[in-house]
Amino acid sequence: MCRALRRARSSGLAFCLAVLLGAALSGCTTYGERMAAVEAAVQDGDPQRALTLLDERPGGSGDRVVDLLNRGALLRMAGKFEASNQALEAAHNAIAEVDPLSVTEQIGSLTVGETAFAYAGAPHDRILLHLIKAFNYLDLGDSEAARVEILRIDLRLQRLADEQSRSAYRRDPFAHYLSGLIFEHLGEPDQALVAYRLAEQAYQEQSERLGIVVPTALQLDLLRLADAFGLDEERAQWQERFALDDWPDPATHRQQAHVVVISGVGLAPRRREQSTAVQDDKGRIHSIALPYYEPRQRAVHSIELRGPEAAISAEPVHDIDAVARILLDEQQAVLVARALARLLVQKELIDQAREVNPAAGLAMNIFTLAADRADTRTWGMLPARYYMARVSLPPGEHCLELVYRGPSNHTLNRTSLGCIELAADTYHFIFDRWVSKRTGSVTRREGM
């Protein structure tokens, strides 16, 4: 058939290639489907096996960034913090290479679907990769390197505010809040106050859509630092806004040790494909494929940090699930417009092929159906939500544990954080990751 097409017109070779490519694509799967086994291994509490499966499953040429992001998250789960940072830094560099998109990729998206684009990371991916690198550096005991990452976050957030000026996700409140805590840990309360202000503004701005209000711990931090710097007018405004009558005294705060427990819960939402096939008046069959997020059951409804003295409820500080859905909702109009543009291009390609040979037209129709897939690539190894418990304790040894509770307040899991020797005026960051009853790992970083 290809030989006959070449005789018919000079573009016949392209049709031959299309037929071959169509046959190859007919059995392809989406990125989300290819990641199913990896996710199952994580649910079973085996991140090392998940890493092996990530390497073994087939991948596309444009998947390098998303594969590196998922690799970085899995390596962190496995406790390999240096390797995790290497993967995340490689993802950062790869994003710079593929963004902005090339003209070739833009043309490709009009013929073979959104997966023709090299994945360049969602806006929140670009923030979170530095956030997780900061977590890793704190676990490695390298506070200065963690500081570098939060400065990189600040630069990225400035760009985000410009790029996403009309988006509900213009700023990342959790990134600002963590930045402030790290600045306090490093003895830079003035910088911490700047970060806390930005975090409070971002939480207020996004609370309705994210479903997360300004954490009480952040409210107390703002009031305490306002006192410490003699900002009486600002403190009075916050006191009225937060309706608080009591907050830590700055002098007493310096005499205590401070524990910050951050827990990542669940897995980020699955991105799936919804496809609709229609037949036009010329017998051509077309497919419009769009992505959507499949709901996940949220098993954890509350977390407590327990010690000999008291139990403190952890507060939700970041909802990756909600952010992902917001960004996809905002992108839907563009995705639909591209899908309709592809449909017009595909009609023309099919008609041109039919003019040469009816079989070539059928082959081209099959090719366009197989190739038009929704982009289901996503950083799925992230948690769905982050919780934080913030507590100040007297110097000395303290034995702590985390208690995860389900929707009916029943205990899902108890995780011992061990016994920690705490010194005055230090910050201790403890990280936990809870995916299911079968998994959960704790890393600890001693304060300085």
The model's pLDDT over 31-67, given as tens digits with 9 standing for 90+, comes to: 888 899 999 999 998 999 999 999 998 777 789 999 9
Q: How far is CA 321 from CA 72, 80, 132, 413, in A?
A: 19, 25, 17, 22
The bridge status of strand 411-422 relative to strand 385-393 is unpaired
For 445, counting Cβ atoms within 10 Å of its Cβ (0-12 exposed, 13-18 middle, 19+ buried), the class is buried
| Mean pLDDT on 225-251 | 95
Strand-pairing partners, residue 302, are 405
Would you state the pLDDT for residue 159? Answer: 85
**Per this entry, what is the length of the chain?**
448
CB 373 within 8 A of CB 289: yes
Instruction: Write the single-letter amino acid at 309.
Output: E
The Cα 435–Cα 47 span in angstroms is: 11
The model's pLDDT over 163-175, given as tens digits with 9 standing for 90+, comes to: 776 777 888 999 9
The Cα 58–Cα 37 span in angstroms is: 12
The model's pLDDT over 9-26, given as tens digits with 9 standing for 90+, comes to: 434 445 444 444 544 444
The Cα 382–Cα 323 span in angstroms is: 12
The Cα 388–Cα 203 span in angstroms is: 15
In the chain the domains, ranked by start, together with CATH numbers, are: 2-214+255-445 (1.25.40.10)
Would you state the pLDDT for residue 429? Answer: 96
**Sign for the pseudo-dihedral over CA of 144, 149, 153, 154:** positive
The model's pLDDT over 408-428, given as tens digits with 9 standing for 90+, comes to: 889 999 999 999 999 999 999
**Sign for the pseudo-dihedral over CA of 292, 440, 173, 219:** positive
pTM, two decimals, is: 0.86
The model's pLDDT over 309-324, given as tens digits with 9 standing for 90+, comes to: 778 999 999 999 999 9
